[in-house]
């Protein structure tokens, strides 16, 4: 069986975890602007999520509009100020998000930067590019100090990196993961996480692990958590019995929700979907199966990993 790495579990609550993607406001076309996704600080103060995945760094090497080659990002209405618009239109400076991350961390939350998303071509192209991307992530978002003037969240140091690769090629991601972990290990003052969100279909074409040369095949032991995407996958359609069937499996470490904008707008019996998920995650009894489903949010299992 697989279990969480001991050092990862020590820094997080000793229960099934609740994880949420934040930053894309995917509900925007369905609600008025007043109901768009609120800022990160709001969620950390009012919700029970343990880990937030800030989405997305979505331009890696393919379709990159930045003339200096830096990875591009998109945080929709939360931040779109590019201080060097002519050279790097997709490298932002986001003081509000930066402050939110620090406030969340003070509350014990882990905040990771997520690479990928549905629109991202995740092809790295070479071993050199894989190492370069790790260098950028380390110095722009994590503990690196060599790109201080390029950090979107200023001096805030995030807690790790998430891979949500849904297009492109699986090649060279082992090189990225290996280099990413090497850089993380140069900073013993802080614990850093590497996570991924593979599709539930096997094999996942981008992460593996059944594909030779994929990140999970070659370096699965370096991942702290896997957030398996059951949503948007026809092999496992939505079911009101889904959680009760898998929650007691030893590999299941909690639940990931896509995304926070849906969570805040999905109110059932006076509580938002995140509150219901936290209650069900925390209880030791079996899930109560509702007589009807009224959910517009999306959920997936969070798996703990060990090589």
Beta-carbon contacts of 245 under 8 Å, excluding residues fewer than 6 positions away, are none
Q: Among candidates 307, 260, 16, 6, which has minimal Cα distance to 114?
A: 260
DSSP for 55-103, please give it.
EEEEESSTT---TT-PPEE--GGG----TTTTT-TT----HHHHHHHHH
Report whether 287 contacts 247 (CB < 8 A).
Answer: yes
Establish whether 166 is a catalytic residue: yes
Whole-angstrom distance, CA of residue 25 vs CA of residue 35? 10
Enter the tokens of residue 246. 């898998």
Q: How many CB atoms lie within 10 A of CB 46?
A: 12
Q: Could you give the 3-state DSSP secondary structure of residue 22? A: strand
Whole-angstrom distance, CA of residue 13 vs CA of residue 164? 24
Alpha helices in 12-155 (DSSP H): 40-46, 95-106, 127-140
- Secondary-structure breakdown of the chain: helix, strand, coil percentages, each rounded to the nearest 5: 30, 20, 50
Q: Among candidates 137, 133, 207, which has minimal Cα distance to 169?
A: 207
Q: How many CB atoms lie within 10 A of CB 36?
A: 16
**Residues in a beta bridge with 225:** 195, 304
Spot the catalytic one: 37, 93, 106, 166: 166
Alpha helices in the chain (DSSP H): 6-10, 40-46, 95-106, 127-140, 173-184, 215-219, 242-246, 260-265, 273-282
Determine the number of helices (DSSP H) and then strands (DSSP E) in the chain: 9, 11
Which residues participate in catalysis according to the annotation? 166
């Amino acid at each position: 069986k697989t279990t969480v790495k001991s050092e990862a579990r020590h820094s997080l609550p000793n229960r099934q975890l609740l994880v949420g993607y934040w930053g894309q406001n995917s509900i925007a076309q369905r609600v008025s602007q007043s109901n768009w996704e609120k800022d990160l600080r709001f969620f950390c103060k009012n919700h029970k999520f343990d880990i937030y995945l800030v989405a997305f760094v979505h331009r890696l090497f393919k379709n990159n509009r930045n003339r200096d080659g830096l990875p591009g990002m998109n945080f929709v209405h939360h931040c779109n100020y590019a201080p060097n618009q002519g050279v790097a239109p997709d490298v932002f400076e986001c003081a509000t998000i930066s402050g939110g991350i620090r406030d969340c961390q003070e509350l014990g939350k882990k905040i990771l930067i997520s690479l990928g998303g549905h629109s991202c071509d995740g092809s790295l192209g070479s071993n050199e590019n894989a190492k370069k991307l790790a260098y950028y992530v380390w110095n722009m978002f994590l503990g690196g100090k060599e790109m201080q003037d390029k950090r979107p969240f200023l001096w805030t140091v995030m807690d790790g990196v998430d891979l949500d690769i849904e297009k492109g090629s699986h090649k060279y991601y082992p090189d990225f993961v290996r280099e990413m972990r090497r850089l993380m290990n140069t900073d013993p003052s802080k614990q850093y996480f590497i996570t991924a969100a593979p599709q539930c279909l096997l094999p996942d074409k981008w992460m593996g692990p059944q594909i030779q040369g994929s990140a999970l095949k070659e370096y699965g032991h370096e991942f702290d958590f896997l957030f398996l995407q059951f949503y948007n996958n026809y092999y496992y359609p939505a079911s009101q019995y889904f959680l009760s069937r898998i929650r007691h499996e030893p590999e299941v470490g909690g639940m990931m929700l896509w995304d926070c904008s849906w969570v805040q707008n999905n109110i059932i019996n006076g509580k938002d979907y995140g509150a219901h998920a936290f209650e069900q995650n925390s209880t030791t009894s079996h899930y109560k199966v509702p007589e009807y489903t009224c959910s517009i949010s999306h959920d997936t299992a969070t798996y703990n990993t060990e090589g």
